[in-house]
Structures are given as C-alpha cells and as structure tokens.
Amino acid sequence: MGVVTAQPERTRLVLARRIVPCLDVAHGRVVKGIRFVQLRDAGDPAEQAARYAADGADEIVVLDIAATPDDRSTSLATIGEIAERVFVPLTVGGGVRAVDDVIALLRAGADKVSINTAAVRRPALLAEASRVVGCQAVVAAIDAVRTPTGQRVVVDGGRTMTERSVVEWAVEAVEHGAGEILLTALDADGTRDGYDIELTRAIVDTVPVPVIASGGAGGPADFLAAFLDGGADAALAASIFHFGHCSIPELKTYLVANGVPIRPSEGRQ
Amino acid sequence: MTGAPRLVVVDYGAGNLRSLGGALDRIDANWRFAREPSDLDAADGIVLPGVGSAAPAMRVLRSRGLDRAIVGSHAPLLGICLGMQILCERLTEDEPVTGLGIVPGSVESLPDTVKRPHMGWNRVILTAPVRTEARGIERALEDWFYFAHSYAVRCSSRHVVATTSYGGMVPATITTGRAWGVQFHPEKSDRAGLALLAAFRDFCRGAKA
C-alpha cells in the first residue's frame, strides 16, 4: 500500500454545511418561545434529539433557557440521556459560568459547550475553558440586537443590552479561545422571516472560525441564503423543525439541488 | 476461547466518553474502561479516545503508566482524534510534546488558509487498495465523518489509509497494521461511525482468533 493518489473529479471535496436543529430546554422539557416569551411545549429532549438525528441532523444544539434567569445549571441528566442515544455532535449551552460547568457538561455527554453571558462579563473564561478542553469544544454564543448605532450584544437571555459591538466581541471571543461562533439575531428570532444575512456575513468575513447562523429560519430558502449569501458554516433552527413546517430530509434535498455541499441523508451517497 | 472480543476504552481524563460508550453499547460491543495499565492486559482491542490538548493528555498517560502499557500491548488499537495524533512521535501545539511513537510522523497545525478548527462533516476517501486482512475497516472508511480538530498528522503516505480534503489533503486514517488512528469522531458520525466501530470490533475478533 502506499501512494496517495490524485482524486478524481467526482470526489472533489468540500466541508459540508451543517443543518442544526436546536432544542430550547427548560426544566427538562423542550420549549420554543417567540423572542423568549410565550413558551410552547414541544416534547421530550431525548426523543426530539433522536428523531432529528434519524432525520439527518448534522449536529444538535441544546440550550437550557431556564438556566441563566433562574440561576440553575443545565440539567446534566438530560444531556446524558441525549448523548447515549444520539451519535451526532451535541452542543450544550445555558447558564455556563465557570470552567467546571464546561467540564461537567462535556463529561455528561456534550461535545461542545456554548458560553454567552458569562463570557461577555468575563472573556477570560473562554481562554480558561479552551486551555482545558480545547478550542474545538468552546463555542461563543452571541445574541445580537440591531440598534441605531449598529448591532449590539445583549445578554441574560436577551434582557440586558450591552454597549459591545457584535463584530468586535466576536473577534475578541475568538482571540480568547472560542473555536466557533453561534450567532443569534434576536430581532429575527422566532419571526420566520429569514436569517439576518448581513449580520451573518459581517461575522463570517471577520472571524477565522466556523459560524453558526441562528434566528429567523422560516423555510428552505432561508437556509440557502444563510449558506450562499451569509457564508454561514452551519444554520440553526428550532420552531420550524419542532412544529413540522420543514423536514430535514426535504431541506437537505433542496439545498443539494441548489449546489450547497451537504452530508447526504442516509441511503443517498 | 470464543466470545465477543473484549475492548477497553482508555479513560485518562477530560472529554465526552459517554458518547463513545453509548456507541459501543449500540453495536453490542463487550467493553469497559481502562484506567490502570493492568486493565489492558486481557484486552483484545484498545480504543484510545482524545479530546483537548496533547500535553496534558500525554502527562496523564505517562503518570499512570498507560503510555507503556499501550505501546507494549499486542492488541489492535484505535486512536480517535487526539488519540490518533498522540500515536505519532512528535506533536507541536503551544509546546513540543513527545507522543507514543507508534506511527512515525508528527502533528502540526492545519494551514492558516483554512478556518480552524476543521469542524463538521467531511467525506473520507481511501487512498490505497483495500487490504484483505483489514477490508472491513477500510471499506467502512468511504463515507462522511464528523471532524473537529485544528492539528493534523504528517507522516509517510505508507501509513495513510484514507484522507479528507481541507485546505489540501488531510490524513483521515493512519495505520501501522495493528494500530489505527482516525482523525474524525466515529462516535459522533451517525451510522457511518457506528459501522466503523463495528468493523474495528470485528477486526479485533479476527486478531484474537
């Protein structure tokens, strides 16, 4: 055996763009709010995650939205149940304040941990976490809100406005050790009017790490725009998958037909 | 002696071992964690996971004597991600690190022309004809797998079984015959990953017989 051979045309490769269903979890149940208000119950986290994985989800994000406001840590038991049933990457966030939280979540079964408010308040947390678990496991989650003077970072689950520019914070977060940015446009979140393409593109063009676009997905065309126009490496959505507005296999078929590199659904190589 | 091959998963600290354990359960593997060198004595196959940085990983392996136990074992070995990289002789992250030296080669940063980490699903392609003795593993490699790494192995193409494309060809699977290293995470690669783990288990059964 031996020589690395040239690849024929059919196998010219590019990294697949990721379809990422998100489970917003509170008190061990999946919920999805319209701008974090008016929560509706959409089921059991492990059941949902297993269903998405079977449908071809490329990664699953679990955000414990009750963790920050209630000052409670993310339910480690819920994460463990998902990790034992689902063999795609699992990113977990919500209420992560210390390196010990990161380690506990990874041990429970998370592959990546997203840090939001605590990183804005103390950016060194990203560096400390990255040093211990590697930057590939540290995601900076950034919630953005449009203001007259540009996109600003908001924290505490969207309730506290900061003076920070989103682009500047994204750059700083990566410098501190974040290996990925989970970018949520709160103005678009829950509207189903489409991702904030301009904001996504601004971050993608500025940081040297993968970017997950989040907030506003209403249908397949929004994912296409996030990948082609926004340049996103991954696109996250919650309610359209939960409530059946869009299925992952149909979405993947649509994206492949439109030239987006996608991991094929099972059985189609 | 008959029966399922006994696999051990080397547990040497941080990281998500839950998914790997869950994946091995899913394929009905007979496995347990190895935390002491003696845990490797009766193993028919060794899985060396790895997440994080090379320096602390090697420090823990050395302090527990697991490094010599792994190198000294005759059982088939599967190194995953960082567990693949530390099969090599030398690693360079923030500081130079001496690896297990099972595969001649080094580990270096991915080029800065691509986003780092290389994070996501990428297609793996065999780069050598399938060998009869390892055909189960090698056939299972032609698929999509999940990668999450910033460093990559550099070694002779003699040891490279499969590659993926990311700013150039990146070794996705290396081998010395008994030892295998995969840069991706089979335990995070859905059915393709479970199929590869099952193929490794079957390879261990063959090696045991």
Give A106's contacts in chain B (Cβ within 8 Å): 14-16, 51
**Between vectors from CA B27 to CA B180 and to CA A90, what angle results, nearest 5°?**
80
Domains of chain A: 18-257 (3.20.20.70)
Q: Supply the pLDDT for residue B131.
A: 86
What are B151's two structure tokens? 């460093």
A2 pLDDT higher than 70: no
Contact A204, A231 (CB under 8 A): yes
Q: Give the HSE-up count for residue B105: Cα atoms under 13 Å, Cβ half-sphere.
A: 23
Q: Kindly list the distances between the CA atom of residue A160 and the CA atoms of A146, A155, A188, B198, in Å, as whole numbers in the listed order.
A: 14, 5, 17, 49
Nearest CA in chain B to A205: B115
Between CA A129 and CA A135 the distance in angstroms is: 8
Rounded CA gap, B76 and A104, in Å?
31
- Single-letter residue type at B18: R
CATH number of B6-208: 3.40.50.880
Cβ within 8 Å of residue A68, ≥6 positions away: A94, A95, A116, A117, A156, A157
Contact A137 B51 (CB under 8 A): yes
Please compute the mean of the pLDDT values over residues A54-64 and round it to a whole number: 95
Closest-CA residue of chain B to A77 = B18
Residue A266 forms contact with B (CB below 8 Å): yes
**Complex-level ipTM beyond the 0.85 threshold:** yes
- Separation CA A187–CA B39 (nearest Å): 55
Choose the closest CB to A87 out of B19, B115, B169.
Answer: B19
Average pLDDT value for chain B: 93
B101 SS3 class: coil
Token pair in block for residue B21: 């354990």
Report the alpha-carbon distance of residue A55 to residue A222 in Å, rounded: 19
**Residue A146: its pLDDT value, please?**
97
A242 three-class SS:
helix
Sign of torsion, CA A222 B147 A269 A245?
Answer: negative
Q: For residue A195, what are the β-bridge partners?
A: none
pLDDT band at A269 (very low <50, low <70, confident <90, very high): very low
Q: How confident is the model at residue B132 (pLDDT cuts 50, 70, 90)?
A: confident
Please say if the pLDDT value at position A242 is more than 90.
Answer: no
- pLDDT, residue A39, reads 45
Residue A70 has pLDDT above 60, yes or no: no
DSSP A154-218: EETTTTEEEEEEHHHHHHHHHHHT-SEEEEEETTTTTT-S---HHHHHHHHTT-SS-EEEES---
Model pLDDT, residue B125: 96
Q: Which residues on B lie below 8 Å from A77 (Cβ)?
A: none
Residue of B88, B118, B155, B187 marked catalytic: B187
3-state secondary structure of B54: helix
Domain boundaries, chain B: 6-208
Are B149 and B192 in contact, with CB atoms under 8 Å apart? no
What pLDDT sits at residue A35?
Answer: 42
Per the CB < 8 A criterion, the answer to whether A225 and A216 are in contact is no
| pLDDT tens sequence across B176-204 | 989 999 999 999 999 999 999 999 999 99
Report the gap between the CA of A161 and the closest CA in chain B (Å). Answer: 30
- The percentage of residues in chain A with a pLDDT greater than 90, rounded to a whole number, is 68
Helices marked H in B10-106 — which ranges? Answer: 18-26, 54-63, 66-72, 82-85
Contacting residues of B for A227, CB less than 8 Å apart: none
Closest chain B C-alpha to A128 CA, distance in angstroms: 12
Q: What's the rounded Cα separation, in Å, for the pair A213 and A205?
A: 13
The H or E element containing residue B206 is helix B190-208
Q: Average the pLDDT over A90-114 and give the result.
A: 93
Which has the closest alpha carbon to A157: A251, A43, A69, A48?
A: A69
Which pLDDT score is estimated for A32? 65
Q: Which of A137, A136, A57, A68 is nearest to A103 (CA)?
A: A137
| Minimum mean pLDDT range among A29-33, A168-172, A247-251, B97-101 | A29-33
pLDDT at position A166 over 80? yes
